[in-house]
């Protein structure tokens, strides 16, 4: 089978021929239909030796949808062969209290495993097949198209989990701001509109991203410039923003969040843009502000995201690309030239 592999640190990913895996006890073989490309894939590709606890070579791809091809011994009880599924990408130890509760994203042993999941130290789904360690990592998707389902397992799930973490601030009359309208941000706008009464404002540098925000249901799409803070404050009648979801996590966006948050507001820092925030009392953050650093999501939340999408409430803006064009897609993602989410489609 074809697989896009990281052979060693600092090398470009290589399309490689591998033997099709055979599922062992408890494992499930999935025929991949689509695999999303994420900024975290860039972090993996750009990592210096020793920066991540992973040991190359491994196949990339942690946003995967496909069809169950075969079950290993004892892997029954989950989706049957032929059933279409999405893969819950955070793979923990499987035995701690967090993993037992379907919260592999918070596995207590994550620092001892040498991986974080599919395509993150373990063989992932930018390949024709993926071996999933347990049926519990699979969520049925029915007839949801693969290019829609795959991004929901990471971009969708991460955005949904971030919204869940700030939900207490999003009652009637509240205002939520999405900073950065890319693969995750445009889904966060839709999730906010579908699951909260809040007024949703979106901010980005790029005109095409602001247009995507509007198409996704933002009440206002505001360019990131010297007037953004004033515009956001004006949109709230001067009281400030109840929740900021920062999908960039860069210094300008964190500074903007500090300027516009309402007392008692929520700040979710989702993006890994390297920005820093000084938390001090007294300090620049308004009183009562709560911070969260959401990471991926739970398996239960993934089932809720898939149900939202199947109800028609979520639509992923995707660019579908054949697997062999992955190096070009990686380059375009680096340059911010992907609209929505790039999804690699496997050869049939
Ligand atoms: C995965 C592994 C490590 C860091 C970040 C991520 C995210 O892409 C998961 O949503
Ligand atoms: Zn990711
Ligand atoms: Zn665990």
Q: Three-state secondary structure along the chain?
A: CEEEEECCCCCCCEEEECCCCCCCCCCEEEEEEEEECCHHHHHHHHCCCCCCCCCCCEECCCCEEEEEEEECCCCCCCCCCCCEEEECCECCCCCCHHHHCCCHHHCCCHHHCCCCEECEEECCCCECEEEECCHHHEEECCCCCHHHHHHHHHHHHHHHHHHHHHHHHCCCCCEEEEECCCCCHHHHHHHHHHHCCCEEEEEECCHHHHHHHHHCCCCEEEECCCCHHHHHHHHCCCCCEEEEEECCCCHHHHHHHHHHEEEEEEEEECCCCCCCCCCCCCCCCCCCCEEECCCCCCHHHHHHHHHHHHCCCCCCCEEEEEHHHHHHHHHHHHCCCCCCEEEEECCC
Taking the domains of the chain in order of start, what are their residue ranges?
A: 2-142+317-345, 159-292
Mean pLDDT within 167-177:
97
The pLDDT > 70 percentage for the chain reads: 100
Taking the domain 159-292, which CATH number applies? Answer: 3.40.50.720
**How much is the pLDDT for 338?**
85
Mean pLDDT within 24-44:
97
Which residue's CA is minimally distant from atom 9 of ligand 1?
296
Closest atom of ligand 1 relative to the 157 alpha carbon: 10
Lowest mean pLDDT among 39-43, 137-141, 145-149, 336-340: 336-340
Closest atom of ligand 1 relative to the 117 alpha carbon: 2
Pocket probe mutation, ligand 1, options 249, 271, 295, max atoms within 8 Å of Cβ: 295
Residue 79 — very low, low, confident or very high, per pLDDT cuts 50/70/90? very high
Residues bordering ligand 2, an ion, CB closer than 5 Å: 38, 40, 154
Ligand 2 centroid distance, CA of 138 (Å): 17
Mean pLDDT within 146-153:
98
pTM of the model: 0.96
Q: What is the mean pLDDT of the chain?
A: 96
* pLDDT tens-place string over residues 320-335: 999 999 989 999 999 9
Residue 348 — very low, low, confident or very high, per pLDDT cuts 50/70/90? confident
Q: Is the pLDDT of residue 160 over 80?
A: yes
Pocket probe mutation, ligand 1, options 36, 44, 62, max atoms within 8 Å of Cβ: 62
Residue 77 — very low, low, confident or very high, per pLDDT cuts 50/70/90? confident
Taking the domain 2-142+317-345, which CATH number applies? Answer: 3.90.180.10
Residue 109 — very low, low, confident or very high, per pLDDT cuts 50/70/90? very high
With a Cβ cut-off of 6 Å, ligand 1 is lined by: 38, 40, 116, 120, 154, 158, 296
**How much is the pLDDT for 103?**
98
**How much is the pLDDT for 305?**
98
* pLDDT tens-place string over residues 232-256: 999 999 999 999 999 999 999 999 9
Ligand 2 centroid distance, CA of 101 (Å): 21
Residue 336 — very low, low, confident or very high, per pLDDT cuts 50/70/90? confident
**How much is the pLDDT for 337?**
87
Mean pLDDT within 114-120:
97
Mean pLDDT within 253-269:
98
Q: Is the pLDDT of residue 221 over 80?
A: yes
Number of the ligand closest to the Cα of 271: 1
Ligand 3 centroid distance, CA of 122 (Å): 15
Mean pLDDT within 110-136:
97
Ligand 3 centroid distance, CA of 95 (Å): 5
């Amino acid at each position: 089978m074809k697989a896009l592999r990281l052979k060693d640190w600092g090398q470009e990913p290589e399309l490689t021929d591998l033997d099709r895996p055979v599922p062992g006890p408890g494992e499930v073989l999935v025929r991949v239909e689509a695999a999303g490309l994420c900024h975290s894939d860039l972090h993996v590709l750009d990592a210096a030796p020793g920066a991540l606890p992973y040991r190359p070579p491994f196949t990339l791809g942690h946003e995967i949808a496909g069809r169950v091809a075969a079950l290993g011994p004892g892997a029954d009880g989950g989706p049957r062969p032929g059933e279409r599924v999405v893969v819950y990408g955070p793979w923990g130890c499987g035995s701690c209290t967090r993993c037992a509760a379907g919260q592999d994203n918070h596995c207590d042993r994550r620092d001892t495993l040498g991986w974080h999941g599919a395509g993150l130290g373990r063989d992932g789904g930018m390949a024709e097949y993926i071996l999933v360690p347990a049926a519990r990592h699979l969520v049925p998707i029915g007839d949801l198209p693969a290019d829609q389902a795959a991004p929901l397992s990471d971009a969708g799930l991460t955005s949904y989990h971030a919204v869940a973490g700030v939900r207490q601030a999003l009652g009637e009359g509240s205002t939520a701001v999405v900073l950065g309208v890319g693969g995750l941000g445009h889904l966060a706008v839709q999730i906010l509109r579908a699951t909260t009464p809040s007024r949703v404002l979106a901010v980005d540098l790029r005109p095409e991203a602001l247009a995507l925000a509007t198409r996704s249901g933002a009440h206002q799409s505001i360019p990131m410039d010297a007037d953004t803070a004033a515009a956001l404050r004006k949109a709230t009648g001067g009281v400030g923003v109840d929740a900021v979801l920062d999908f960039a996590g860069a210094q300008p966006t964190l500074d903007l969040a500090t300027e516009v948050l309402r007392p008692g507001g929520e700040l979710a820092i989702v993006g890994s843009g390297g920005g820093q925030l000084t938390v001090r009392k007294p300090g620049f953050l308004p009183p009562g502000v709560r911070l969260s650093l959401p990471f991926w999501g739970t398996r239960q939340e993934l089932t809720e995201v898939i149900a939202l999408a199947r109800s028609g409430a979520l639509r992923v803006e995707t660019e579908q690309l054949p697997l062999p064009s992955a190096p070009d897609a990686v380059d375009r993602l680096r340059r911010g030239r992907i609209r929505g989410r790039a999804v690699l489609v496997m050869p049939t």
